[in-house]
Amino acid sequence: MTPTISKVIFVALVIGWYLIRYEYARRSRREKIARSARGPVETALLLISLAGLGLVPLVYVATAIPRFATYSFHPLFAWLGLFFAIAALGMFHLTHRALGRNWSISLDVRENHKLVTEGIYRRVRHPMYSAFWLWAIAQALLLPNWIAGFAGLAGFAVLYFGRVAREERMMLETFGDSYRAYMARTGRVFPSVL
């Protein structure tokens, strides 16, 4: 494991995520929206998250900027980063497949939206956000730079904590008692310990 391979793994994570998402994003454009919690706040949260998980680390990979924040590379961290990156991509694949036409980059409820509560959604109600946390951890382990490495955790934390309660409110307004019961038997990003 070398610093270059570690950077290549990070870029492969970004490309892998894009390829998984591309097909669902294309298909979901055709699905009509019944209600939405989109707005300027949601757009700002998305942009911050995108900067932290994508723009800042990719600028670092391409240019080594910000140089002052670089620290020495440890192969063990990079190996762990590879493990987290693979786990993140696996989770992305499973969550996109499970959500199918119900997926949205933002907070939308589709016409005939189906509440998914099985498979990867059985014990955890936000497994796609679990996958983004795994990505952010992988980024911190793969990139030996205090800013580029940790920008993912910071950027995604802003999106996650700014969005998850509103998303759950929207789901409760749409699905009522079924979502309430689903919340009672699941954890947000980690299976709840019964």
Report the nearest approach of ligand SAH to the CB of residue 137 (Å).
16
**N-terminal to C-terminal alpha carbon distance within the chain:** 40
75-99 vs 3-28: helix crossing angle, rounded to 10: 10
Task: Measure the CA angle with vertex 25, ends 86 and 38; round to 5°.
Answer: 110
- Applying CB under 6 A, the span of 24-32, 70-78, 82-90, 106-114 interacting with ligand SAH comes to 106-114
Considering the complex, state which of residue 107 and residue 172 has its C-beta at the smaller distance from ligand SAH.
107
Task: Give kind and range of the element (H or E) at residue 35.
Answer: strand 33-36
How many C-beta atoms lie closer than 10 Å to residue 90's C-beta?
Answer: 14
Encoded one letter per residue, x for contact with ligand SAH by CB under 6 A and - for no contact, window 115-154 reads: xx----x---xxxxx-------------------------
Report the nearest approach of ligand SAH to the CB of residue 164 (Å).
7
Residues 169-188 close enough to bind ligand SAH by CB under 6 A: 171
Give start and end residues of each alpha helix (H) in 69-176: 75-99, 127-142, 146-175
Q: Is 104 in the site for ligand SAH (CB under 6 A)?
A: yes
Task: Give me the residues that bind ligand SAH (CB under 6 A), please.
Answer: 95, 99, 102-104, 107-109, 115-116, 121, 125-129, 167, 171
